[in-house]
Amino acid sequence: MKATRPMDKKVLVVEDDEAIRDMIGFNLKRGGYEVIEAGDCRTARVRVADHRPDLILLDWMLPDNSGVEFARSLNRDELTRSIPVIMLTARSTEDDKVRGLDSGVDDYITKPFSARELLARMRAVLRRASPEGDGDEVTAGRLVLNLASHRVLAGDQPIELGPTEFRMLKFFMTHQDRVYSRAQLLDHVWGGGVYVEERTVDVHVLRLRKALAPHGFDKYLQTVRGAGYRFSPGASSG
């Protein structure tokens, strides 16, 4: 199994104390991680939609909501529940730890903590969270999407895609056999901070189908009337 490479991992630091946020960010960058920051839950939601972090470091006490409630909201959403969360907090009683862990977080670190401990706990959580993410490829039958080289292959034949179509195909291939509305696709392909019309989704679905059609994979991308789109490799390609 390939070891987790920190430079491949994006970490969202949700902490309202700027000095603590800067200190954590400095140590993470030194450790090879890409750092995204938010000072409250509202900003954090936008960062999650825009960047799809591999891990979230979440403070308990935030100005607009508690970290516990934010963690619960992530866990309720099918599209974010797989993102591992480590809660960082000064609350150290057993009841607090139980409440934090019951919210769905993957680990709980009490302040103050050392950079060495934080990085070690992060590595452990990322290892547990990435049995299917250790590889660079996502497959659907003979359709292969390589995350490292940013290439798509039909068998050994390359498929040329624009950047938006690549992101869309990556999303569909990692979320197979489920229906997603245009609004959901806008959030998770374009990002929550980008304002485009929902019909833009239809345009890019059409382009993606056109690119997949010569290889028979356009049938995988199905329109579900009144609901949105579904990527189903079980569909006939003949």
What is the rounded (10 degree) CA torsion for 196, 197, 201, 203?
-100
User: What is the structure's pLDDT at 4?
Assistant: 45
Token pair of 184, please?
């959901």
pLDDT tens, position by position, for the chain (238 residues)? 344 456 568 999 999 999 999 999 999 999 899 999 999 999 999 999 888 898 999 998 999 988 899 999 988 887 788 888 999 988 767 777 777 777 778 888 888 889 989 998 898 888 776 644 445 788 888 899 988 788 899 988 999 998 889 989 999 998 888 899 998 888 888 776 556 788 889 999 999 999 999 999 999 999 999 899 999 987 554 4
Q: What is the DSSP string of 181-237?
A: -HHHHIIIII-TT----THHHHHHHHHHHHHHGGGTGGGGEEEETTTEEEE-TTS--
Return the residue matching tokens 């292959």: 153
Between CA 120 and CA 116 the distance in angstroms is: 6
Between CA 24 and CA 33 the distance in angstroms is: 11
Between CA 176 and CA 220 the distance in angstroms is: 10
User: What is the structure's pLDDT at 39?
Assistant: 95
User: What is the structure's pLDDT at 132?
Assistant: 47
Between CA 54 and CA 106 the distance in angstroms is: 13
User: What is the structure's pLDDT at 19?
Assistant: 93
User: What is the structure's pLDDT at 238?
Assistant: 40
